[in-house]
Amino acid sequence: MTALLRTDGITKSFGGVRALNGATIDVAEGTVAGLIGPNGSGKTTLFNVITGYERADAGEVYYGDKAITNAAPDKVFAAGVGRTFQLTRIFPRLTVIENMLIAAQTKDKPKNVLAWFGRDAWTHHRRHALDLLAFVGIERHANVLAGSLSYGQRKLLELAYVLVAEPRVILLDEPAGGVNPTLINHIADRIRELNAEQGKTFLIVEHNMEFVMGLCSTITVLESGATVVSGPPDIVRTDKRVLDAYLGADLEEDSDDHPAE
């Protein structure tokens, strides 16, 4: 199995706080990988570095065999790495369908200036966008303002509009956070379906252990910005270092919350 997304010794500091300290992660193509760790362990920072929202101080990010370290967010997205945010980032004053169309930008560049001003430039995306909304189950809300959606629906919308651009890898930051159990199952099913039928690769940050253990085939544990262990759920679950990291072997280390989390 080849790694589709790989980071190698990523280091990132915010002032005096070292958020990432040699974080290394391997995501094989066609798998659902999990990334767990205590609060402040640098999971979101690692996501930000991979997707270009933060610059790494050291280390490399590879997509396939191409280094994409510190590429701009739009370049990373266009290359095929989509992501969602812990606190969803949708466009609240655009309608749901308009949110979807914004994400379709990367798929076609208007041929000339006039096409830029025309509206039929995206007509052919609408069908696809509606299909994806139906897939996540919010197609009824296509014409309402995205800001009026519930929190769970926003998560679904964000997932759907990341899918518009047909990324090969999708990074989900706490897809089950703050969402009711029924919706959590719904989201898990959608991820399984995308993975099984379209071969999409996922990297998921999540605190809900049931969700992660049930979904992911490999799990990487991050602690204080460094990779502690990586392997199948059963191995990770029983690893002593993981238990220490979560239950807190020594409590002095509890103060490593950093601003990006």
The answer to the question of residue 47 lying near other proteins (CB under 8 A) is: no
Task: Give whichever of 74 and 189 is closer to other proteins, judged by the CB atom.
Answer: 74
Long-range contacts, 142-145 (Cβ 8 Å, 24+): 142/95, 142/96, 142/97, 143/95, 143/96, 143/97, 144/95, 144/96, 145/92, 145/93, 145/94, 145/95, 145/96
The answer to the question of residue 128 lying near other proteins (CB under 8 A) is: no
Residues numbered 139-178 forming contacts with other proteins, rule: CB under 8 A: 142-145, 147-148, 151, 154, 161, 165
Task: Give whichever of 92 and 248 is closer to other proteins, judged by the CB atom.
Answer: 92
Q: How far is the CB of 143 from other proteins (least distance, A)?
A: 4
Task: Give whichever of 171 and 205 is closer to other proteins, judged by the CB atom.
Answer: 171
The answer to the question of residue 80 lying near other proteins (CB under 8 A) is: no
The answer to the question of residue 134 lying near other proteins (CB under 8 A) is: no
Long-range contacts, 240-243 (Cβ 8 Å, 24+): none
- Which of 14, 55, 67, 74 is in the footprint of other proteins by CB under 8 A? 74
With 0-12 / 13-18 / 19 or more C-beta atoms within 10 angstroms meaning exposed / middle / buried, residue 146 is buried
d(CA 176, CA 188): 9
Let me know: does 222 contact 200? Beta carbons within 8 Å.
no
Q: How far is the CB of 23 from other proteins (least distance, A)?
A: 21
With 0-12 / 13-18 / 19 or more C-beta atoms within 10 angstroms meaning exposed / middle / buried, residue 200 is buried
The answer to the question of residue 87 lying near other proteins (CB under 8 A) is: yes
- Which of 89, 124, 140, 241 is in the footprint of other proteins by CB under 8 A? 89
The answer to the question of residue 112 lying near other proteins (CB under 8 A) is: no
The answer to the question of residue 110 lying near other proteins (CB under 8 A) is: yes
Q: How far is the CB of 82 from other proteins (least distance, A)?
A: 9
Among residues 233, 229, 230, 216, which one has the least CA distance to residue 32? 216
* Residue-wise burial string across 11-47, b where 16 or more C-beta atoms lie within 10 A, e elsewhere: bbeeeeebbbbebbbbbeebbbbbbbbbebbbbbbbb
Binding segment for other proteins among 22-30, 68-76, 200-208, 230-238 (CB under 8 A)?
68-76
Let me know: does 45 contact 39? Beta carbons within 8 Å.
no
The answer to the question of residue 48 lying near other proteins (CB under 8 A) is: no
The answer to the question of residue 95 lying near other proteins (CB under 8 A) is: yes
**What is the contact surface with other proteins in residues (CB under 8 A)?**
51-53, 72-74, 77-78, 85, 87-95, 97-98, 101-103, 105-106, 110, 116-119, 121-122, 126, 130, 142-145, 147-148, 151, 154, 161, 165
